[in-house]
Amino acid sequence: MTRLEAHALSVDLGNRRVLDRVGLSLVPGRLTAIVGPNGAGKTTLLRALAGLQPPGEGDVTLDGVSVSRMPATACARSIAYLPQGGGVAWPLPVLSVVALGRLPHGERPEALSGRGREAVETAIRSVGLEGFEGRPVTALSGGERARVLLARALATQAPVLLADEPVAALDPRHQLIVLDRLKALARDGATVAVIMHDLTLAARFADDILFMQQGRIAAFGSPEEVLTEERLASGFGIAARVLREAGRVVVVAEGPLPRA
CB of 163 to ligand ATP, least distance (A): 13
236 SS3 class: helix
- Comparison of 15 and 71: residue with beta carbon closer to ligand ATP: 15
Q: Please, what is the Cα angle at 165 between 256 and 194, to 5 degrees?
A: 105
Q: 179 with 196: CB under 8 angstroms?
A: no
154 SS3 class: helix
- Comparison of 36 and 55: residue with beta carbon closer to ligand ATP: 36
- Comparison of 14 and 258: residue with beta carbon closer to ligand ATP: 14
CB of 252 to ligand ATP, least distance (A): 21
- Comparison of 103 and 168: residue with beta carbon closer to ligand ATP: 168
Is beta strand 191-195 parallel, antiparallel or unpaired with respect to 216-221? unpaired
Torsion of CA 161, 165, 168, 169, to 10 degrees: -70
CB of 226 to ligand ATP, least distance (A): 16
CB of 222 to ligand ATP, least distance (A): 22
At position 114, the amino acid (one-letter code) is G
**Could you give the CA distance from residue 94 to residue 91 in angstroms, rounded to a whole number?**
9
- Comparison of 41 and 104: residue with beta carbon closer to ligand ATP: 41
CB of 11 to ligand ATP, least distance (A): 9
- Comparison of 13 and 111: residue with beta carbon closer to ligand ATP: 13
Residues 6+ apart with CB under 8 A from 73: 104, 106
CB of 41 to ligand ATP, least distance (A): 4
CB of 48 to ligand ATP, least distance (A): 9
**Could you give the CA distance from residue 61 to residue 65 in angstroms, rounded to a whole number?**
5
Interacting residue ranges for ligand ATP, rule: CB under 6 A: 13-14, 16, 18, 36, 38-44
**Could you give the CA distance from residue 101 to residue 97 in angstroms, rounded to a whole number?**
8
Strands (E) across 106-258 are located at: 160-164, 191-195, 208-213, 216-221, 238-245, 248-256
At position 161, the amino acid (one-letter code) is L
For residue 215, give Cα distances in angstroms to 12, 18, 23.
Answer: 10, 5, 11
